[in-house]
Structure 1
Amino acid sequence: MRPVCNIAVELIKSRRAHSSAAALRLRGEMCKELKTKVLRLLPQSCSGPSVHQEGFTDGAEVLSCTVKALKEGHVVAVPTDTIYGLACLTQNSEAVKKIYDIKGRNGNKPLAICVGEIQDIYKFCKVKVKEALLADLLPGPVTLVFERSEVLNTDLNPFTSLVGVRIPDHGFMRRLCQMCAEPLALTSANISSHTSTVEVHEFQELWPKLAVVVDDGPIGDHSRLGSTVVDLSVLGKYRIIRPGCALSSTVDVLEHKYRLSEDSGKNDLV
């Protein structure tokens, strides 16, 4: 006969296992009910293709699922090279409104757009700088502000003639934009005025309002500063709207390589 203490220990372990399994089932049922898919990207391998790991999803499958959600008019959470963001299709007015509602964001604060390639910028922005300047800063942790073109959805930032554009230095995000074949409206994944997020659990209260949450683990340098935002809409000038995480390197490129001078005038994106 086994000692009573051993039986007690086994009973406790059994109850814990049952409780843990029940919690996992409950979480699964909640996600199913809320129709929120939380997908973990496979870690990238330097020596070849990523090997499947428990709990992770193949990048192609994550892309397919995210593109489908975006094209159906939903808002998704995505990783960038700086912080986690909320994204929707720029040209979908209802989806743009959803982002504001989800964040509780002031309707007079603009959303940036995100594209996959430098050439895509010219379709949606009126660019007054050399293409080489764009190539020196993008892809990277910088948002460049230009005059918007007539092609861009008029319901996106209708209060300004300008728009900020990003190409994150993040393979998943660039490929996502390419597959959507149009820009994504992009903003930080947090309730408005709250701290920016570098891990998906930090904005878990928003998950029920999202169709897909793409988990790429901890990202950025944990400074939570977001991208450096610079206005290049005035010929020969630049204006820093937000210092962000790449201020010194950005100013160095603008001033020393391209001889732009700082514009101290006001900007209607501030």
Structure 2
Amino acid sequence: MAQYFVIHAENPQTRLIQQAAQLLKQGGILACPTDSSYALVCLMEYKDAQTRIRRLRGVDDEHPFTLICRDLAEIGTYAKVNNSQFRLLKAMTPGAYTFLLEASREVPRRLHHPKRSTIGLRVPQHVVTQTLLEALDCPLLSMTLQLPGEEVPMSVGWEIRESLEHHIEGVIDSDIAHVGATTILDLTQEPPELVRAGVAPWP
């Protein structure tokens, strides 16, 4: 049975954030709000949690995860960023964007794009997500919470609890700004290439 955390969107309760973080540190999966719907999240070191997320989503081993980071410095740890890429990232974070960049050695090869050494990274504009990242002191591996057969991602905490309470370790119930996908930009191209139009504007 998933633990259910009702967390204030602007003033997250420290005790509940710490409890949610502990579930992740133990190898669990959380349903976590972001600035673009909910995501299923786990930590990078837990392969079993990643397999379970793919199974819940109904996707194969080639479907990419996104690395949710606290800030530009953390993106710089997990991706190779040149000066022009940095300027664009600085202008567009935090926000509902996913950036494709060349992965650094800190990212396990199994998490790279199957045909390129890239990974998607983002810095969400959501206080609860940011507070959870601070409590963990590491990034989150994430995949949009869109179940097989559904046309839109899930966005309501209690509905997620009803659907997944026997399949994941925790649900964070909090407000979200948008319901939809992030805007994906491939920054390995010059100029940057729009891969997917989402809730955030481009250009």
Coordinate RMSD, CA, aligned: 1.8
For the residues of structure 1 that align with 2:86 and 2:23, how far apart are their CA atoms? 33
2:81 paired with 1:124: no
The 5-angstrom pairing of residues 191-206 of structure 1 reads: 191-194=147-150, 195-203=152-160, 204-206=162-164
Write out per-residue CA displacement over residues 131-170 of structure 1, whole angstroms, 9 at most, x where no aligned residue.
Answer: 3321210000111110111111222246141111011001
| Aligned residues of 1:103 and 1:190 also touching (Cα < 8 A) | yes
Q: Cα distance, 1:106 vs. partner? A: 2.4
For the residues of structure 2 that align with 1:135 and 1:179, how far apart are their CA atoms? 23
SS at match of 1:230: strand
For the residues of structure 1 that align with 2:9 and 2:136, how far apart are their CA atoms? 23
The code of the aligned residue for 1:79 comes to: P
The code of the aligned residue for 2:125 comes to: D
Q: Could you list the runs of 5+ residues in structure 1 that have no partner in the other structure?
A: 1-33, 45-49, 51-57, 252-270
| Aligned residues of 1:115 and 1:178 also touching (Cα < 8 A) | no
SS at match of 2:192: strand
Q: In the alignment, what sits opposite 1:63?
A: 17
| Aligned residues of 1:62 and 1:214 also touching (Cα < 8 A) | no
Q: In the alignment, what sits opposite 1:108?
A: 62
For the residues of structure 2 that align with 1:158 and 1:144, how far apart are their CA atoms? 13
| Aligned residues of 1:141 and 1:228 also touching (Cα < 8 A) | yes
Q: In the alignment, what sits opposite 2:110?
A: 155
For the residues of structure 1 that align with 2:131 and 2:42, how far apart are their CA atoms? 15
The 5-angstrom pairing of residues 6-45 of structure 1 reads: 34=1, 36-42=2-8, 44=10
SS at match of 1:133: helix
2:153 paired with 1:173: no
Q: Could you list the runs of 5+ residues in structure 2 that have no partner in the other structure?
A: none
2:166 paired with 1:208: yes
Q: Cα distance, 1:94 vs. partner? A: 2.0
The code of the aligned residue for 1:199 comes to: V
CA 228–43 in structure 1, closer or farther in 2 if over 3 Å, else same: closer
| Aligned residues of 2:9 and 2:127 also touching (Cα < 8 A) | no
The TM-score, its normalising length taken from structure 2, stands at 0.90
Write out per-residue CA displacement over residues 31-77 of structure 1, whole angstroms, 9 at most, x where no aligned residue.
Answer: xxx2x111111353xxxxx6xxxxxxx62122101110111001101
Aligned residues: 199
CA 124–192 in structure 1, closer or farther in 2 if over 3 Å, else same: farther
For the residues of structure 2 that align with 1:190 and 1:206, how far apart are their CA atoms? 12
How much identity, in percent, do the aligned residues show? 23
> Which one scores higher on RCO, CA 8 angstroms, separation ≥ 6?
2
| Aligned residues of 1:40 and 1:214 also touching (Cα < 8 A) | yes
CA 42–174 in structure 1, closer or farther in 2 if over 3 Å, else same: closer
For the residues of structure 1 that align with 2:186 and 2:85, how far apart are their CA atoms? 14
Q: Cα distance, 1:193 vs. partner? A: 4.8
Q: Cα distance, 1:123 vs. partner? A: 0.8
SS at match of 1:244: coil
SS at match of 1:64: helix
The TM-score, its normalising length taken from structure 1, stands at 0.69
For the residues of structure 1 that align with 2:87 and 2:17, how far apart are their CA atoms? 30
SS at match of 1:123: helix
